[in-house]
A and B are shown apart, each in its own frame.
Chain A
Amino acid sequence: MVELSHDSRPIIGRGPPLTAYFLALAAISVGLMVADQRYHQIDRIRESLSRVIYPVQRAVDFPFRATDWVTGSFADRSRLRQENLALTARLRLANLQLQRFAVLEEENRRLREMRANTAGIAEKVLVASILNVDLDPFRHRVLLDKGAADGVFKDQAVLDGDGIFGQVSKVNASTAEVILISDAEHAIPVQSNRSGVRTIAVGTGDQHKLSLPFVTVESDLQAGDLLLSTGMGGVFPPGYPVAQVSKVKRAGSMFALVEARPTARLDQAREVLLVWFKPRAEPAAAAATAQPAPSSTPVDGPATAAPPAQAGGE
């Protein structure tokens, strides 16, 4: 008697024995189940499989969608009217809430712009180490280990991790001298992050203090305001933190006494960044920061004049 094989696949190219095939696939199934249940490792497999499955789901979905469409097309008038009334009421409510959101959205957009400026303005950055701090306590200068050979140029902006550090005042072949923003001969145009007031921060000779001499009594500046670089004068990239207002005293009749603390760690930094950037078009910057008139009039003059002044002071 002939024993018939139950494996009726082609004899040539049949592949592994049926039982082995079965066991392999069963093992894979069990492995998949364990992986899925215990470790959640196969979301990617599921994801790609569901991409194959998607047309099936759409095909199943289609008739019901079509039925909905047909019944919707032939809906009677009174029901439509009722629906319309309900929707109008809801829309009115939603619009009311939306009005509040518009203000928030605008604010958010401004903040994002500012942040984008801070994040990606520098086109090229070179890390430099500070060689030695100037011994003269009244002149805040440091020497960097990068010079003309590295492409450093005069008036180049220097930053550290926390804000504006200073600017290159002298370039040598392989070193460069930097004047810190706290140097008494240095001034930098700044803008309040909160109110948009623009003014100039002048070094005082104290590494922890900047002075803002051109702030009128009416200016909207408070202690705690973050001062950002405006980019005016084309020396510093706009939007980088410079200092934080530490004291505002409105004693006099014309100018307030304002002090700020530099955000950059002027006395501790061992490494700084030399920055290459494209100066932003100034009208755009001015338009974006339209602010109360009284403060802007006395400030604008010195602000544009400041960078040449400090360069000349060298």
Chain B
Amino acid sequence: MRPMSMLTRRLLYWISMAAGLVLAIVPLPGWLDPFRPDLALLAMIYFVLTSPRIAGLGYAWLSGLFLDVLRGMVLGQHALGFLVVGYLTHKLQLRMRMFPLVQQAVIVMLLLGLYHFLMFWIDGLTGHGFTGWVRWLPVLSGALLWPLVVALGDSLTRRSS
């Protein structure tokens, strides 16, 4: 199997980031809205795991910054969240790549939980605190979606090679 060229990979990352951002602001029906998974974050985790040499912390940070602008949040909030998750993924990637998918999903759930705790915390500091349990639903939906993300990512990287 010939490896993808660096450029194609980079392009793929930015495209999937854009897609993740689109899905982050696309309107959903009311009952589905609380479940909206952080697809941009999941994509970022996936790329950091599979090709840490290309998808670095800058990529993670920028994704978060764009999400801030899109959502009109305090500038830097999601950027910090993405950065923390990206850094931890970098630290854990050698182990995580060995894990079976279910175990991976559990780790991802922990990462998502940390991310949402950070968001919750910053929201509280900036005065937009929403304390309902509903805000933790994306942790669950994200973890459940993780196998799908891996499958999609794997098929994308293989097909284009």
Q: Beta-carbon contacts of B6-47 to A below 8 Å, as 1s and 0s?
A: 000000000000100110011100000000000000000000
User: B79 touching A29 by the CB < 8 A rule?
Assistant: yes
* Contact between chains at A59 and B69 (CB < 8 Å): no
A and B contact pairs by CB, cutoff 8 A, 16 listed: A6-B91, A6-B94, A7-B90, A9-B56, A18-B90, A22-B57, A25-B58, A29-B80, A29-B83, A33-B77, A36-B74, A36-B76, A49-B65, A52-B66, A60-B22, A60-B26
A169 nearest CB across to chain B (Å): 66
CB <8 Å contact, B90 and A32: no
A8: B residues at CB distance < 8 A? 52-53, 93-94
A64 an interface residue at 8 Å Cβ cutoff? Answer: yes
B126 within 8 A of A: yes
**Contact among B69, B84, B93 with A6 in the assembled complex (CB-CB below 8 Å):** B93
Residues of A within 8 A of B (CB): 4, 6-10, 18-19, 21-22, 25-26, 28-33, 35-37, 42, 45-46, 49-50, 52-53, 56-57, 59-60, 64
Q: Point out the residue from B26, B87, B92 that lies within 8 Å of A18, measured CB to CB.
A: B87
Q: Beyond A18-B57, A49-B66, A56-B25: 7 further Cβ-contacts under 8 Å?
A: A8-B93, A19-B87, A25-B61, A26-B83, A33-B77, A36-B75, A60-B26
List the 9 closest A-B pairs by CB distance, nearest first: A32-B76, A29-B80, A29-B76, A33-B76, A22-B87, A36-B75, A49-B69, A32-B75, A29-B79
Which residues in B have their C-beta under 8 angstroms from that of A30?
Answer: 76, 80
Contact of B53 among A9, A18, A26, A42 (CB under 8 A): A9
Q: In the complex, how many angstroms separate the beta carbon of A252 from the nearest chain B beta carbon? A: 73
Report A-chain residues with C-beta under 8 Å of the C-beta of B65. 49
Q: Between A and B, how many residue pairs show CB distances below 8 Å? A: 87
Supposing A8-B52, A33-B122, A53-B69 touch, asked if A26 and B80 sit within 8 A by C-beta, the answer is yes
Kindly identify, within residues 122 to 141 of chain B, every residue whose CB is under 8 Å from any CB belonging to chain A: 122, 126
With both beta carbons as reference points, the residue of chain B lying nearest to A63 in the complex is identified as: B26
Say if the beta carbon of B148 comes within 8 Å of chain A. no
Interface of chain B, main secondary structure: helix
Question: B residues within 8 A CB of A6?
Answer: 90-94
Say whether chain A's binding surface is mostly helix, strand, loop, or mixed.
helix
B152 on interface, CB distance cutoff 8 Å: no
Contact between A56 and B74 (Cβ–Cβ < 8 Å)? no
Distance in angstroms between the alpha carbons of A59 and B91 in the assembled complex: 35
Bound together, the chains give a CA A64 to CA B22 distance in angstroms of 13
Q: Bound complex: CA of A45 vs CA of B77, how far in Å?
A: 15
| Interface assignment of B106: CB less than 8 Å from any CB of chain A | no
List of B residues within 8 angstroms of A45 by Cβ: 75
CB contact between B22 and one of A49, A52, A56 (< 8 Å): that residue: A56
Let me know if B76 and A21 touch, CB within 8 A: no
Nearest B residue (CB) for A64:
B27
Contacts of B79 in A (CB 8 A): 25, 29, 32
Would you call A59 and B52 a contact (CB within 8 A)?
A: no
One of A18, A33, A57 near B126 (C-beta < 8 A):
A33
In the bound complex, what is the Cα–Cα distance between A25 and B82 (angstroms)?
11
Question: Residue on B with the closest CB to A53?
Answer: B69
Residue of A nearest to B26 (CB): A60
Q: B4 contacts which chain A residues (CB < 8 A)? A: none
Compute how far the CA of A212 lies from the CA of B27 in the bound complex, rounded to whole angstroms: 73
* Centre residue among A29, A42, A60 by max chain B CB count within 10 A: A29
> CA separation between A6 and B87, bound complex, in Å?
11
B92 to chain A: which residues have CB within 8 Å?
6
Tell me which of A9, A26, A46, A64 contacts B75 (CB under 8 A): A46
Q: With an 8 A cutoff between CB atoms, is B156 at the interface?
A: no
State A274–B17 Cα separation when bound (angstroms): 66
B21 touches A42 (CB 8 A): no
Which residues does chain A contribute within 8 Å of B52, judged by CB atoms? 8-9
Chain A residues near B80: list those with CB within 8 A.
26, 29-30, 33
Looking at A31, A45, A60, the one whose CB has the most chain B CB atoms below 10 A away is A60
